[in-house]
Amino acid sequence: MAEQTAPESVQVVRRDLRFDLDTADLRSWHPEGPHVAHFFNALSIFFPEGEQFFIESVRHYHDRIDSPALERDVKGFVGQEAMHSREHRRYNAALARMGLPVAELEEKVGKYLDTVRERTSPEDRLAVTIALEHFTAIMAHAALSDARLLANAEPNLAAIWRWHAVEETEHKAVAYDVYCAAVGEGTVAYRCVVMLLTTIDFWQRVFRYHFRLVRADGGAGDLRGWWRLFRWLWLSPGGMRQLVRPWLSYFRRDFHPWQHDNSEHVERWKTAYAESGLAPA
């Protein structure tokens, strides 16, 4: 595994931000329509329980960390993930108030992760965490680098997703660095197998939950809506298509998350936030 450090400008800092989720129509906040909005909404369902799982997986190895810099980053990682969990609980509660089956789906996520906790070792859980953190990092990069993915979206919803993306970028290497410090070399093949299994499991759940939201919202038979979703995911701007190459980079023996330095997006967001309170359009 490659040794790499984050750019000096990147600091993993807890930000206690709250977003106004009461004035937006969460069914149609994205200009490409409800099917695309519900793709994001389905992702939100996973975050409250998922972020807690990440925190537990990293904290388990805290006593094996000798680096003061990594200790500091772990503290920032925990703080950021806790804020993500809180804001996505608020987001999901707003979806539930609209009559969508979010509480049921959140409960399914919690039960599934409880099963994972019971049947896996701490090393397994940390390996799953670094795989999913790679996913959140590459999704974050797409959201921050391609303005089309959130162009003309409702400002508060665009802001919460950009904020989340920025912080996922800031701490994208923390769980990986803890894994290297705690588990060490000689596990590249294992790490890659975990990524393959996690990829299949994660995306089939996302798309099943997405369909549940669309169906509950009355859009299951809307062929034009499904076409717009397919076009947005795979053609233009192609959010899912943009993930393929960076996902494959994980299978390199010398992989490290900061081999791809995209910290300029963090700096751009911080500047815009200081001026307006919202992520850049």
Mean pLDDT across 215-232: 98
What are the pLDDT digits (tens) for 169-195? 999 999 999 999 998 865 789 999 999
Tokens matching residue 145 = 């680098």
Chain mean pLDDT for the chain: 93
Residue 9, pLDDT score: 75
Contacting residues for 60 by C-beta, under 8 A, at least 6 apart:
122, 125, 126
93: tokens are 């509660």
On the question of pLDDT at 27 being above 50, the answer is yes
Residue 78 φ then ψ, to 5°: -60, -45
Residue scoring higher pLDDT (275 or 90): 90
What whole-number distance in Å separates Cα of residue 126 and Cα of residue 252? 19
Residues 36-51, mean pLDDT to the nearest whole number: 98
- Res 7: pLDDT: 77
Q: In this model, does residue 278 exceed pLDDT 80?
A: no
> Residue 274's pLDDT is what?
72
User: Residue 223: pLDDT above 90?
Assistant: yes
Mean pLDDT throughout 29-43? 98
pLDDT at 101 over 90: yes
Q: What does the pLDDT read at residue 257?
A: 96
Give residue 281's pLDDT band: very low, low, confident or very high (50, 70, 90). very low
List Cα–Cα distances, 163 to 48, 138, 261, in angstroms.
16, 15, 18
Q: Is the pLDDT of residue 35 over 90?
A: yes
Determine the length of the chain.
Answer: 281
pLDDT for 186: 59
Q: What is the DSSP letter of 10?
A: -
Q: Give the tens place of pLDDT for each residue, 122-138.
A: 999 999 999 999 999 99
Whether 155 has a pLDDT exceeding 70, the answer reads yes
pLDDT by residue (tens digit) across 56-93? 999 999 999 999 999 999 999 999 999 999 999 999 99
pLDDT of residue 277: 58
Question: Does the reported pTM lie above 0.85?
Answer: yes
Residue of 255, 174, 240 whose CA lies nearest to 202: 240
Q: Distance of CA 196 to CAs 129, 140, 253, Å?
A: 13, 20, 15
First to last CA, the chain: 36
